Amino acid sequence: MTATIFDKPAVEERASSSLPLRLTLAPAGTAPTLIDGAWWPRSRDLTAELPALTAVLDPLWGRITRVTVNPAFWPVIPRKVPVAGHLVHVGWFKAEQDPHKLLLLSYTAGRWDLLVIPPETSPDTAARLMTAAADPLRVLTASGLIQEAEFFRIAAEADWDSTRERVWDSEGGHGAGRRISRSPAQAVTAAQAVTAQIPAPTEGK
């Protein structure tokens, strides 16, 4: 059985604990692989994010008693996180653990590995990663899946730029580079028109 809970991006004002968990798991009974599924947390706060994750995984895998992370993407790593009915012990490894992976140890079922999708990932890229991580034929590591998704994102952007350029050319844009003589008044008007089309910078971006 595949447990998949996936929703649209959350409104920032709502607490992470009150929102649906964004998780996908590989079908039960498939051959062991490097990744058992993917988790898309809403923040990099383990204390806030782990309770919702274990609430879903405990009934499926047995009680999660310990998790480990790579500190590269987690600014604060608590030693223990209180979840429903018990505590989860948290550890970390640098060189030994893939930075994009969360390792979970269950009291009864053993070890599970999840791809951790960065919270700021776009919905399209996150959906692609969710699908790839749950594919029974997957062979990539967590970081390998992230790199593959980035490759697809860059390729899609390059294709969009190429398409936009072709449309520009088809509409006569190829002549835009030619020098056009303008009077000073015309030049000022043109500059104002271009400025009006440029959106004002957004604070924090």
Query: What pLDDT was estimated at residue 185?
Result: 39
Residue 95 has pLDDT above 50, yes or no: yes
pLDDT at 110 over 70: yes
pLDDT band of residue 14 (cuts 50, 70, 90) is: very low
Letter string b/e over residues 95-126, b meaning 16 or more CB atoms within 10 A of that residue's CB = eebbbbbbbbbbeeeeebbbbbbebebeeebb
Confidence of residue 204 (pLDDT cuts 50, 70, 90): very low
Distance CA 23, CA 60 (A): 13
More confident residue, 166 or 104: 104
Would you state the pLDDT for residue 43?
96
Q: Which of 89-93, 105-109, 191-195 has the highest mean pLDDT?
A: 89-93
pLDDT at 6: 41
Which band of pLDDT confidence, cut at 50, 70 and 90, is reported for residue 157?
confident
What confidence tens digit (pLDDT) does each residue in 127-154 have? 999 999 999 888 899 999 999 998 888 8
CA angle 34, 150, 44 (to 5 degrees): 70
**Tokens in use for 102?**
């969360």
How many alpha carbons lie under 13 Å from residue 50 in its C-beta half-sphere?
27
pLDDT confidence of residue 161: 55
Q: Which whole number is the average pLDDT over 3-14?
A: 39
